[in-house]
Structure 1
Amino acid sequence: MPPRDPVITVFAPTGIGEVTRGADLAEAVLTAAAADPSGPLQAGDVVVVTSKIISKADGLVRAGHDREAAITEQTAATVARRGATRIVRTRAGLTVAAAGVDNSNVASGTVLVLPEDADARAATLHAELTRRTGLPLGVVVSDTAGRAWRLGQTDHAIGAAGLRVLERYAGRQDPYGNDLQVTAMAVADEIAGAADLAKGKLAGRPVAVVRGVAHLVQPVGLPDGRAADLIRPLEQDMFSHGTREAVLVAVLTATGQSDRYEELVALDGPALAAAVLTGTDLSADAEALVSALFVRT
């Protein structure tokens, strides 16, 4: 493993331009990086590519008037919903708003959906970059997401190849001699966030190169080498539903209607209570409790 570099630099080259279906992304990255004053690519660099140009190159475009249908298409389960706003778990396991369906930096009247397997797309790009350069490199596919307890958004890794995405500290000791038991740093997410500081949202720079993290670059196929390894397993997820949605799951389970969750989650207040109570044989007190629960949540 290369030694840890005390200096990390990030640069976002210009010149990639509008990406269209079938574009050679590896060639675009290499050409842009070579033309940058900080280029060309060097051994140990991590190339961070926004998911948007992956989606454009793969033709993952939908008509804008079908945005809600595109969100539904990409949704495996609804985590929380308030009116038209949906936080969902995608088929790939990501928990994001609107299933990652995006209408920014795309042609008017269209939206983009996320790659179905961003780790596989990262691996494809990684294979091309390493084949053409002969260099050990890492690749991250990034996208923007919010955080449940904090305002604002930041980029995180939805795909990775040639990179250790988690740096685990369990079993090590801190400078005071304390044993670390559960600490694991989501370094791929940190790299994605740092890259976005250079790329920006409106600068037309969809790729950034993070230099100085060669100690995280590793051959494809090693443990903790995919962005999917950052997704918390459902059985460990303490926040798999929003507050109202957790109540809905509990009530539907108790009344033998758990299969109605996706049908009812779009409703709210009295309408939701009425729909839940339809067909049940509860006492008046139980019905009142159900109604009160959904009014309060």
Structure 2
Amino acid sequence: MSDLELVALRGIREVRPGDDLPGILADALAPHGPREGDILVVTSKVVSKAEGRVRPADEREQAITEESVRLVASRAHPGGITRIVEHRTGLVLAAAGVDASNTDDGTILLLPIDSDASALAIATHLRERFGVALGVVVSDTLGRAWRVGQTDVAIGAAGVRVLEPLAGQLDAGGRPLVVTAPAIADEIAAAADLVAGKADGVPAVLVRGLGRHVGDLTEPGASRLVRRSGDDMFRLGSDEAYRAGREAGRIEGIAEAGGRHGG
């Protein structure tokens, strides 16, 4: 296993809607001599800016509603209400990913329309320009159930094996692995954030030493990491699940009463 190297690509100018983001990233990457198996981690914010996913800040609540397909949980607090929702892409996160950090005053950023497609466009451009197979991960910051704090995860990917199923292999003690499957793309995104930082204005990080996880551009994107509803044991927040259970019981009680009176 090779050593891991992470390099923050500093000096990238402010990206505006309509900018050629793949070209900008390629120019920033060029001085580092891109190699076969390199991975570029790009923050979703810079992708959203280039794609024009910018709205006035006073439309925040409307934007959250428009980007959401399901309310998972909500909590009132002195500053308002926090909504944990299922985003239209399947991600479950606070405020549908709508964010006011690292953007112009008075504006908010929405997540990219299709982060896998965005990653594919960047990866395609980089491979064509440099003639080597590079992978791309689009990252965003998510909170986690049962854990305090946030970490970066992959919401888009291209040319990277986002998941490494190890079932059937043996651990160091010779015991078979049954369900182990590291989320490689999430681990790469989190590692890159340690270099970029939240307040340093670094939108991209070069990750070197993980070439074994770089593959064809036909590799499944980060959407593969979204847990499907049929496998999700915790689809609702506790309060929401309780209310749903009470409502179901109330309806069942009304139906039973109607059946008795009707008989």
In the superposition, the TM-score normalised over structure 2's length comes to 0.92
CA shift at 1:281, angstroms? Answer: 8.4
Distance, in Å, in 2 between the alignment partners of 1:23 and 1:197 is 27
Could you tell me which of 240, 245, 248 is aligned with 2:243? 248
* Equivalent residue number for residue 271 of structure 1: none
What's the secondary structure of 1:185's corresponding residue? coil
Distance, in Å, in 2 between the alignment partners of 1:110 and 1:154 is 23
- Give the AA of the match of 2:41: V
Is 1:181 equivalent to 2:178 in the alignment?
yes
Instruction: Identify which of structures 1 and 2 has the higher relative contact order when contacts are C-alpha pairs closer than 8 Å and 6+ apart.
Output: 2
Q: CA RMSD in A?
A: 1.7
The answer to whether the 8 A contact 1:30-1:41 is kept is no
What's the secondary structure of 1:131's corresponding residue? helix
CA shift at 1:252, angstroms? Answer: 2.7
Deviation digits for residues 106-129 of structure 1 (CA, Å, limit 9, x no counterpart):
111110000121111111111111
* Equivalent residue number for residue 170 of structure 1: 167
What's the secondary structure of 2:55's corresponding residue? strand
* Equivalent residue number for residue 211 of structure 2: 214
What's the secondary structure of 1:151's corresponding residue? strand
Deviation digits for residues 76-113 of structure 1 (CA, Å, limit 9, x no counterpart):
10110012100111000000100000000111111000
What's the secondary structure of 2:155's corresponding residue? strand
Distance, in Å, in 1 between the alignment partners of 2:109 and 2:153 is 18
- Give the AA of the match of 1:91: R
* Equivalent residue number for residue 76 of structure 1: 69
CA shift at 1:218, angstroms? Answer: 0.4
* Equivalent residue number for residue 16 of structure 1: 12
Aligned residue-pair number: 253
The answer to whether the 8 A contact 1:91-1:116 is kept is no
* Equivalent residue number for residue 104 of structure 1: 101
* Equivalent residue number for residue 295 of structure 1: none
CA shift at 1:256, angstroms? Answer: 4.3
Distance, in Å, in 2 between the alignment partners of 1:77 and 1:68 is 14
What's the secondary structure of 1:184's corresponding residue? coil
Is 1:29 equivalent to 2:22 in the alignment?
no
The answer to whether the 8 A contact 1:30-1:40 is kept is no
Could you tell me which of 114, 117, 142 is aligned with 2:114? 117
- Give the AA of the match of 1:44: G
The answer to whether the 8 A contact 1:60-1:112 is kept is yes
Distance, in Å, in 1 between the alignment partners of 2:131 and 2:154 is 24
Instruction: Note the 1:86-105 alignment, pairs <5 A.
Output: 86-105=83-102
Unaligned runs of 5+ in 1: 258-279, 284-297
CA shift at 1:216, angstroms? Answer: 0.3
- Decide which moves more: 148-157 or 248-257: 248-257
Is 1:239 equivalent to 2:202 in the alignment?
no
* Equivalent residue number for residue 158 of structure 1: 155
Q: Which runs of 4+ in 1 moved over 6 A?
A: 280-283
Distance, in Å, in 2 between the alignment partners of 1:160 and 1:252 is 41
Unaligned runs of 5+ in 2: 258-263
CA shift at 1:251, angstroms? Answer: 2.4
Instruction: Note the 1:125-140 alignment, pairs <5 A.
Output: 125-140=122-137
What's the secondary structure of 1:239's corresponding residue? coil
Percent identical pairs in the alignment equals 48
Deviation digits for residues 197-256 of structure 1 (CA, Å, limit 9, x no counterpart):
11111111100011000000000223xx21011111111111111110111222233344
* Equivalent residue number for residue 230 of structure 1: 225
In the superposition, the TM-score normalised over structure 1's length comes to 0.82
- Give the AA of the match of 2:102: N
